[in-house]
Amino acid sequence: MRLVSNLAAFGFLPACGIFFLWWGLAEIVDGKGLSGAIASIFAVGIFGFSAQWAVMRWMAEPRGQFNSVGTTIRPRKLFDALSMIWIGAAVLAAVLYVAFAPFGHVDMPTYRSSTPWMMVFILVTGVATLWRMIAHGGDCYLRLTPDSCEVWNGPWLAFRRANWEDIKQIQDHPVRRKLRGRELIVLVLPEGRSATLLSDCVTGNSDPLRDWVRFYWQHPECRDELVDGRALQRLDDKKFTRE
């Protein structure tokens, strides 16, 4: 499954991006600047997504922060920036299309009216995603506090906070659905619920991060480390047992 996703991210999508860029430049040369701009902006979004996927596959590195609330683990800044770029580009292109296509200013095929509805969908979901990502400070994160564990996944618009005592298990696979080719940290909650972090966005090796979460789940007496930087040192040292 990972091979298929890599082929799509590094083969099919870049080919689509090149096509949109070529099409956009041709439209601009032909005097259709708005249509060319929309196609070119979509190309930027596609290239941005492929670049973000490359960062995830080969350059993933956790970025840790702590304060009086707890310790937060995020992807590297480049990953967050590329996420904003490709989603922002898709939203901008959709805005231009929705604003000007009804007046005949956009020379792009509509495929029996499916294109306008697709643009509206991209606009609505893209704006919601960007808004939530800005509010949460990035694409995704894992935050541990002395009282709870928080998981935010921007592309899924999924945020969940769970008290430590409500967590039943910590595992590497979903509770119900299958999600192949991705590394996960899954917090199993009561009544079949769960909180899932796509941990390969954050780190190239999810096992230490998963063991780190499990350590604080199993050792509540150590959770004061989460507010003073010792938790990050424990993660760096990979010390997940009591001294």
**What would the pLDDT profile of 80-134 be if each residue is shown by its tens digit?**
999 999 999 999 999 999 999 988 888 876 655 688 889 999 999 999 999 999 9
20 occurs within a structural domain: yes
Statement to judge: residues 93 and 185 lie in one domain: no
Instruction: Give the chain's domain count.
Output: 2
Q: Which domain holds residue 178?
A: 140-237
12 occurs within a structural domain: yes
Contact 130, 91 (CB under 8 A): yes
Statement to judge: residues 50 and 104 lie in one domain: yes
| Residue-level pLDDT at 234 | 97
| Residue-level pLDDT at 2 | 74
206 occurs within a structural domain: yes
Contacts of 82 (CB under 8 A, 6+ apart): 48, 49, 51, 52, 55
| Residue-level pLDDT at 5 | 86
DSSP bridge partners of 160: 151
Q: Which amino acid is at 236?
A: D
pTM beyond 0.85: the answer is yes
Statement to judge: residues 107 and 149 lie in one domain: no
Reading the block at residue 44, the tokens are 């930027």
pLDDT in tens, 91-105: 999 999 999 998 888
Reading the block at residue 14, the tokens are 């870049």
Statement to judge: residues 11 and 90 lie in one domain: yes
123 occurs within a structural domain: no
Statement to judge: residues 188 and 99 lie in one domain: no
Contact 63, 77 (CB under 8 A): yes
DSSP bridge partners of 196: 186
119 occurs within a structural domain: no
| Residue-level pLDDT at 242 | 79
92 occurs within a structural domain: yes
Contacts of 88 (CB under 8 A, 6+ apart): 45, 126, 130
pLDDT of residue 180 exceeding 80, the answer is no
